[in-house]
A and B are shown apart, each in its own frame.
Chain A
Amino acid sequence: MLEVADRPASPETEHFDSSAPAAPKRSSGLSLNAVNNWVPHDLVMRDSWFPLAHDHAVGKTPVRRAVYSHPFYIWREDGKVVASEFHPLEIVTRDKSPFTDARGRYPVMEHYGLIWGWFGRPEAADPAHLPSLPFLPPKGGLPKHMTATIRFDCSAPISLENLIDLTHADFLHADVVGDEKSDSEEVEVYYDSETITMVRTLVNKSVAPIMKFFSGIRQPTQNVRQVIRIYLRSHCAIAYGRFSPGDDVPLFHPCTPESRDRTRMEMVMNTSNAGPMFRHVMPKAGYKVSRQDSSMTNPQSPRYMDLSPRKDLHSKFDQAGQRYRLLMMELAARQDAGDFAYRDNVSTDCSDIIGLRKELFQF
């Protein structure tokens, strides 16, 4: 069940759907029509935790990361992780940014097996703003084969918009997750000011080839419930698929904006409950799937660097994508006006929202 605090998407749409009622006007904020002024390249989110590295990747030697081109050098001092905008060996010739303390250090924390860096006002850093990822052990410890680093040649919002419209998967990733054939498909969208959740329910969908080969599914079809939940500020997503027959596949899919046109994903897929073959193979599918995504999102990205007088066209399956655009633009507008407050809590356990089968993920 979905959390009641999450507002269901209104039927206002710009897509081609003759059965849909006329779009009601919003009383406040941006009109849905604003999604056509979507310039994701210009969106910069502050006061947020960004996942920067897997905990196993950080030792005594600094590793280099970035958020919106701001350098983050991360290493451990006496086992404790630190993040600085200056490399310890760097001859500093540039000014300190306002995003670090007097020593040039960012707020940083370790949770869910990841290193999280705070980008924004250091004094506002609060673990309470860490996204809820209930399928990951809070203290980490998942085997390395369930983790990977993958990069996308596009801006982070483009990558997330791609993710939240899962109809792309039936075509771009058909060889991994199955084609578009199903008896029925339903998409629901829920959101608040900090998150958006899309639930896609399919009946008798073509079985995912990867499950056919590595989970031993013999039936030609399976019922699928896929959930994408995006934490807007931190550009983190949960992609949780429940396949019947089949396995539960919860994926942490962050899209850290290292620069405004390149994205880093420190992914974690908890396949602990799956069979031994699938458990090892499925996380590796990310390497293939990401290339398939990049083949489209890479050429897309520069086309969203400027305002265009030509509107995008939408279908009824784009509700979530349109809402995502709108929420990001609203949040960005609020931040531009100097309001960085969290109006909704992102760290509250979202197990119910994503329909997580908690019995499978006890830590």
Chain B
Amino acid sequence: MSSPWWKVALSEEITSTKPFAVDVGDQPVVLWRDAQGIARALEDRCPHRRAPLSRGCVRDNGWLQCGYHGWSYDGETGRLKDIPNMKDEQKFPPVYKAAAFAVSESGGFVSVNLDQKTAIAPPVVPQGFDLCDTAHVALGHDQWINALFDDPGLVLNIRSVEFTPYLMSDLREENGLLVMERFCLWGKVHWPSYATAEFPITLITRTHPVTGETEAVLRDDSFRTLLTAQLAPVPAARGVTQVRWRARLGDDLKGSHAVGLRHKGAFAVRETVDAAALRVLIASASHLAGKLREDIRTSAPDTASSVSAAA
């Protein structure tokens, strides 16, 4: 099975002035932009004395310099390029290098692949999502995705939107993605959802079976798109999930609640999860997702298209 691409950062987070530390599971990664503005990624560990490279700096020529003894690395290859005060002896054997990871930038996200040798860069799509942020959630990656499947309200906050337990369609596989559509209500005085005849909005989610990368589309009952969000959960150290997201509003917002989405903070990934509610959440869609994810991973590991490409 090929190694997945993880959307570990927003494009804005990666600069040529300050290294940026992330992790993919237990693997620490440092990102920065080189002199050409290309995002680079190395293991966040100096091969010299194992100091985090992210505590160093980016040199004018685009090399990453360790903040401990000043060793400098080229981002493309990870090769050691400079040791301070070595004067004319700056030629180093090939083993003098930091582990480099494949990097790709598309749609306002920077992705890394921990397997640089076999990684094939995903297609580049333009960035058209003006809202963005990062949330760190004290919940494991799989559990975060399962919560998204069973009750999006536990992990997402969309202004005035109440997520109901009712699915317009069961979770299903479509082009290698896990797709489902959930009925939603506007947060106002109304019948409880179990006694509601018609729902004004739905949330469609398309989720990558391995990474959990999800496109979420909020749509009204006249098929107007109210909001589109891309969610990129990445497993991080200590069971934390880092969720980067970008969102944009629809062009044609009708009704006071839809227009209210224009206000700041209309969309957010929750930093904290209601553990009491999570504990008693009935595993329904996620139960199917577990089986589907396993089927997709084993039967066609490379066919799952990226969420943004499929959209």
Instruction: Give the interface of A toward B (CB within 8 A).
Output: 53-54, 57, 62-64, 66, 68-69, 71, 87, 89-91, 148-153, 258-262, 287, 290-291, 294, 298-299, 301-302, 305
Q: Is B288 an interface residue (CB 8 A)?
A: yes
Residues of the B chain whose Cβ atoms lie less than 8 Å from the Cβ of A153 = 165-166, 194, 282, 284
B168 touches A149 (CB 8 A): no
Given contacts A150-B194, A291-B194, A305-B287, contact A298 B282 (CB under 8 A): yes
Residues of the B chain whose Cβ atoms lie less than 8 Å from the Cβ of A298 = 282
With A57-B198, A89-B223 given, name 7 new contacts (CB 8 A): A89-B222, A90-B223, A149-B196, A150-B194, A151-B195, A153-B165, A259-B170
Give complex CA distance A69, B285 in Å.
Answer: 13
Give complex CA distance A69, B183 in Å.
Answer: 12
Q: Residue-by-residue, is B276-293 near A (CB-CB < 8 Å gives 1, otherwise 0)?
A: 000000111101100000
Residue of A57, A151, A258 touching B194 (CB-CB under 8 A): A151
Given contacts A90-B223, A153-B165, A305-B288, contact A64 B198 (CB under 8 A): yes
What is the distance, in angstroms, from A173's C-beta to the closest C-beta of chain B?
16
Give complex CA distance A90, B224 in Å.
Answer: 9
Residues of the B chain whose Cβ atoms lie less than 8 Å from the Cβ of A291 = 194
B170 touches A260 (CB 8 A): yes
Q: Is B193 an interface residue (CB 8 A)?
A: yes
Given contacts A89-B223, A151-B193, A305-B287, contact A262 B165 (CB under 8 A): yes
Residues of the A chain whose Cβ atoms lie less than 8 Å from the Cβ of B287 = 302, 305
Closest residue on chain A to residue B172 by CB atoms = A69
B167 touches A262 (CB 8 A): yes
Q: Is B169 an interface residue (CB 8 A)?
A: yes
Give complex CA distance A1, B282 in Å.
Answer: 43
Give complex CA distance A63, B200 in Å.
Answer: 10
A302 touches B169 (CB 8 A): no
Residue of A54, A261, A287 touching B284 (CB-CB under 8 A): A261
Q: How many of chain B's residues have a CB under 8 angstroms from any CB in A?
A: 23
B282 touches A299 (CB 8 A): yes
Given contacts A87-B223, A153-B282, A302-B283, contact A69 B197 (CB under 8 A): no
Q: Is B221 an interface residue (CB 8 A)?
A: yes
Give complex CA distance A301, B150 in Å.
Answer: 14
What is the distance, in angstroms, from A113's C-beta to the closest C-beta of chain B?
14
A294 touches B197 (CB 8 A): no
**Interface hits, B87-135 → A, CB 8 Å:** none
What is the distance, in angstroms, from A262's C-beta to the closest C-beta of chain B?
5
Give complex CA distance A175, B300 in Å.
Answer: 53
15 residue pairs of the A-B complex, CB under 8 angstroms, read A62-B221, A64-B199, A64-B221, A69-B172, A71-B169, A149-B195, A151-B194, A151-B196, A152-B194, A153-B165, A153-B282, A153-B284, A260-B170, A262-B167, A301-B282
B170 touches A69 (CB 8 A): yes
What is the distance, in angstroms, from B172's C-beta to the closest C-beta of chain A?
7
Closest residue on chain B to residue A299 by CB atoms = B282
Closest residue on chain A to residue B287 by CB atoms = A302
Residues of the A chain whose Cβ atoms lie less than 8 Å from the Cβ of B222 = 87, 89
Given contacts A69-B172, A151-B193, contact A302 B223 (CB under 8 A): no
Give complex CA distance A152, B282 in Å.
Answer: 13
Closest residue on chain B to residue A305 by CB atoms = B287
A150 touches B195 (CB 8 A): yes
B168 touches A69 (CB 8 A): yes
What is the distance, in angstroms, from B162's C-beta to the closest C-beta of chain A?
14
Q: Residue-by-residue, is B196-214 near A (CB-CB < 8 Å gives 1, otherwise 0)?
A: 1111000000000000000
Give complex CA distance A157, B308 in Å.
Answer: 37
Give complex CA distance A166, B70 in Å.
Answer: 78
Residues of the B chain whose Cβ atoms lie less than 8 Å from the Cβ of A53 = 197
A71 touches B223 (CB 8 A): no
Residues of the A chain whose Cβ atoms lie less than 8 Å from the Cβ of B165 = 153, 262
B168 touches A71 (CB 8 A): yes
Closest residue on chain A to residue B286 by CB atoms = A302
What is the distance, in angstroms, from A312's C-beta to the closest C-beta of chain B?
19
A287 touches B170 (CB 8 A): no
Give complex CA distance A152, B196 in Å.
Answer: 12
Give complex CA distance A301, B26 in Å.
Answer: 36
A-B interface, 10 closest residue pairs, ranked by CB to CB distance from nearest = A69-B169, A149-B197, A259-B170, A259-B167, A151-B194, A69-B170, A89-B223, A302-B287, A153-B165, A260-B170
